[in-house]
Chains A and B, each alone.
Chain A
Amino acid sequence: MPTLPLRSWQVGFFLAALLFLLLPVVLGGQWMRIFTSTACFTLAAAGAGFIYARLGMVSLTQVGLMGLGGWITLRLNHSTALPFEANLAIAAIGTAVLGMALALPALRMRGLYLALVTLMVAGGLEILFTAYQFPNGGAGFWGVGTSFAAEMRRPALAKTDAAYLRYCILLVVIGFVLIEWHLRAKPGRAWALIRRSEAAALASGVNVTLYKTWAFGLSGLLAGLGGGLLAGSLGLLDASTFRASESVLLFALVIVGGARSWLGIVLAAVLFRVAPGLLNNWGVDADLALVFFGAALLHAVITAPEGIAGQIIGLLSRLRRRNRGQA
């Protein structure tokens, strides 16, 4: 199932390789962090995007699930001697399991009702994070101590900030490949049928419960991975990063960027993390970004159902066709 007309995966790999080589070289301190966190949010956005584009379901919990992944990673880092990779893997799996639990309401609900349930879960996570904060090396189950800042281990391969950015870009690529691999195989066909209608899926022998659960699990896995990576980047996490409103904003930006393609997902994460940073740099209130995003969302909903990515791709294929016409 080709996602985009332009041999999109080749372009994607090329672009990722370029970012992998260049970004860590050209970016300085603060921006290195911003792009690392962009990579982390790309993973979460990818989960929200494929659930929306391929199954037609809305999940507004992705950023909250990132928080859960971050929490588990920090907790394991401070209380065990396991290497970063192991903590990250456990966090991703743990988040995937919660993601699957989220699928339970999805089995009975559609559309707005499902969106509201996932939003309530995001709200619940927000309350938990605000009440208990993130582990920083303190004692007890919650692992929070005042003025603690225990060391956060990083992957053996990526001790420096530059190497860590590359590590994150690599995991984003793996995340996209994982989704694409699903889409081209049995689960992708089952999801496409579920999106058409549940009756169509059942009439094709699809176990709807299993494949919905699977989709939410995969989406949760990606969010958990993103959260764990963010924890590794910053060493400390703050509850305000994982508010329910952030989940809603990220989802809205996925629509703006274009949920159906990897390009749209990357654009969403860039808008989410980089745009506010840029505005800050220019001395403009970063909250103005929200106004801009709102306008962009209206634009996407009204005139560009495939998002900015769809418009770019449409433009490129028109150019290509014109070139071919001249040749």
Chain B
Amino acid sequence: MIRLENLTVRFGGLLALDAVSVEFTAPVSGIIGPNGAGKTTTMNVLSGFLDSKGGRVDVEGTDLLSLSAHARTRWGLRRSFQREQIAEDLSVRDNILAMTDHSRASRADKRADLERAIEFAGISDILAKPGAGLNTYERRLTDLARCVVGQPRLIMLDEPAGGLTRDEAAHLGDLILGINDLTSAKVLVIDHDVDLIERICTETLVLDFGKRIDFGPTRSILDNPAVRAAYLGFETGAAADA
């Protein structure tokens, strides 16, 4: 259970998040909304990169906002970035290894963990490649491998399918669904690809201008006219034409 209560973030005159409250219970949940809706901002609050003015975040009984940013990672928070952040100087293997560096697990456990993640993401043939030489798909897969090592409890993926072809995005979707077999972590996914969200997310939160528009089973929120107006405006237009 991931409970956000009253998250509020202001950038100067802009209210990026306006008292957003929601409780995710599904293994994989989604956050959608138009550009600038506050999706990434929500993840940045959970990560500790931004402070919420008031508000609380409770993940399986842990008060997340009371931990420092790096301590949240050690606690089990994982995330990928909209603009991926693979270290250019490190090989794929070292990029993943860096994630296990700060856990207290034994060396053998870390190695087994690493191997499992590599197999899961299917990247055993690019392990020695330097980060600087990876294409978008390889970066997204490496990111995913980084997210599943070190006993994660909450994994947040910010547009994991950004820049991928349809087939690549579909494969990534399968992998995200497979996270629950590999770890006990809850997964939160942001994406503009509504097909992907519909396929992998049981519940979805819709944001617009920093406000919660709707939340519930993905199928039903996608049928909500308010959501369609805010986010899928072009489809209502198309429906009117028909």
Contacts and interface: CB of A to CB of B under 8 A. Distances in A.
A29 interface: no
B98 A193 contact: yes
Interface in A153-198: 186, 189-190, 192-193, 195-197
A12 to B, nearest CB: 19
Pick the most buried of A204, A206, A207: most chain B CB atoms within 10 A of its CB. A204
A83 to B, nearest CB: 38
Contacts, number: 74
For the residues of A in contact with B, the DSSP-based class is helix
Nearest to B48: A202
B229 interface: no
Nearest to B49: A199
Interface string B55-83: 00000000000000110011000110100
B180 to A, nearest CB: 21
Contacts of B69: 202-203
Nearest to A54: B89
B85 A203 contact: yes
A205 B73 contact: yes
**What's the interface size class on A, roughly?**
20 to 34
Contact of B73 (A186, A189, A195, A202): A202
B98 A189 contact: yes
Q: Which of A1, A200, A205, A206 has the most CB of B within 10 A?
A: A205
Contacts of A186: 101
A208 B94 CA distance: 18
Contacts of B150: 205
Given A204-B98, A205-B101, A192 B87 contact: yes
A189 B101 contact: yes
B52 interface: no
Nearest to B90: A192
Given A1-B94, A208-B70, A200 B101 contact: no
B4 interface: no
A205 B81 contact: no
Contacts of B88: 192, 195-196
B99 interface: yes
B86 interface: yes
Interface of B: 47-49, 69-70, 73-74, 78-79, 81, 85-91, 94, 97-99, 101-103, 146, 150
20 contacts: A1-B89, A1-B90, A1-B91, A189-B87, A189-B94, A189-B97, A189-B98, A190-B101, A196-B87, A199-B81, A200-B87, A203-B47, A203-B69, A204-B146, A205-B70, A205-B73, A205-B101, A206-B101, A206-B102, A207-B70
